[in-house]
Structures are given as C-alpha cells and as structure tokens.
C-alpha cells in the first residue's frame, strides 16, 4: 500500500511538472487577452475588443515611426513625461527596460561570460551593457547585467574588462534562455544542435 501511494505521489508530481508550464503560459495569455479585450465597451462580441486594441496599437506604431507629425506628437509627449517631476523616473525606467528587450536599440544583445571567482574558477553568463566605464571614473571596467535564473530580475556588476569574454555559439536569445533556465538545456535541443 505504501509503495502504491509513493507511485501515485510521484506520478502526481510528474504531472504537475508536465502541466505547470503549459497551464501558466495559457493562463498568462488568457489574462492578457481578457484584460485587453475589456478595454473596449462590453456591448461588443467577445474578442472584438482585443482585435480593435491590436489594430489601434499597430496603426499608432506605424504613424508614430513613419510620419513626421506622428513622430513629433509622440516625441513631444515623451519629452513632457521626461520633464514632469516624479513621473519622469517612472516613465524613463519603464521606457529603458522595454527598449532593452525589444526594438531597434536592444541592450541585451552582447552575451558574455564573466569570471566571478578564480580559485576555483567560476564563470557566469551575462550581457555587457557598458563596454567602457571611464565616464564614471572606472578605467578598464565594464558593466554586465546578470539575469537571475527562473526570474525576471537580475543585478549589475562592474568588473575588470579582462574578466569578461564574449559568448560564442549562442545568440543573445539563447544566452538569455540559458541564464533564466539555470543553464538547463533539453536533450532534444542538444540533439538538434548536433544535427545542424
């Protein structure tokens, strides 16, 4: 009986491991869809609000980057937010974080290995964010963002440039996945890389 209970418990935990990523991803997508859909009046059929918001954001993005007047309007509004006491810190922080991950000026695009200990030798993966820190009085130093595993947080270290070397054979996206997943790669991914 005890053996049967152990098998049941192990099976339940394995089921949780299999279903959790799928369920959490589905829940997150569902929550985003519902929240965006609820931004328009409730009299419309379900899903129409989501489509309207996506189309509106796309049109604004097109007009705001392709036409002088649209770009001027958004630049003026951004300038106002950047110079409003209190608001400027919130706005600039959010803007910088978003631009770090997406857009034409992605910041986390230089994956590097950082030697954080020499005896024993320990290397961590990160993303170089400042290749030259002399403007802050730190000669031959670089700034590296080190993401935490299984989290959206991280920390920045300033270290000697000699302690940093570029990551080879990995794109920035693969390096971020490696860092956030705790360095775990599946056997299937390894086999795919071997085939290529």
Peptide bond into 120 cis (omega under 30): yes
- CA distance linking residue 63 with residue 69, whole number of Å: 8
Q: Which residue has the tokens 């985003």?
A: 32
Residue with tokens 């006491």: 85
From CA 151, how far away is CA 149, in angstroms rounded? 6
Query: Concatenated DSSP letters for 40-52?
Result: S-TTSPTTHHHHH
Query: For residues 45 and 110, what is the distance between their CA atoms, to the nearest angstrom?
Result: 45
pLDDT in tens, the chain (196 residues): 788 888 888 888 777 777 776 787 788 888 888 888 887 776 777 788 888 888 888 888 887 777 778 778 878 888 888 888 877 777 777 777 666 666 555 667 788 999 988 788 888 888 888 888 888 888 889 999 888 787 667 888 898 888 899 998 888 888 888 888 888 765 445 555 545 5
pLDDT of 112 = 92
C-beta pairs of 147-150 under 8 Å, 24+ apart in sequence: 147/176, 147/179, 147/180, 148/180, 149/179, 149/180, 149/181, 149/182, 149/183, 150/180, 150/181, 150/182
Contact by Cβ (8 Å): 143, 133: yes
């Amino acid at each position: 009986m005890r053996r049967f209970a152990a098998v049941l418990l192990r099976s339940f935990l394995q089921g949780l491991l299999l279903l959790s990523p799928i369920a959490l991803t589905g829940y997150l997508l569902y929550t985003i869809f519902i929240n965006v859909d609820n931004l328009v009046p409730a009299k419309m059929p379900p899903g129409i609000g989501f489509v309207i918001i996506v189309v509106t954001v796309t049109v604004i993005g097109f007009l705001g980057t392709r036409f002088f007047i649209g770009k001027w309007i958004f630049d003026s509004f951004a300038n106002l937010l950047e110079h409003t006491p209190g608001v400027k810190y919130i706005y600039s922080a959010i803007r910088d974080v978003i631009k770090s991950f997406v857009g034409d000026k992605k910041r986390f695009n230089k994956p590097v290995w950082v030697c954080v200990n020499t005896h024993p030798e320990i290397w961590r993966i990160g993303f170089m964010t400042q290749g030259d820190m002399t403007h802050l009085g730190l000669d031959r130093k670089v700034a590296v963002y080190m993401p935490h595993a299984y989290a959206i947080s991280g920390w920045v270290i300033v270290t000697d440039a000699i302690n940093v070397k570029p990551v080879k054979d990995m794109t920035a996206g693969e390096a971020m996945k490696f860092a956030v997943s705790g360095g775990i790669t599946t056997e299937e991914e390894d086999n795919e890389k071997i085939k290529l």
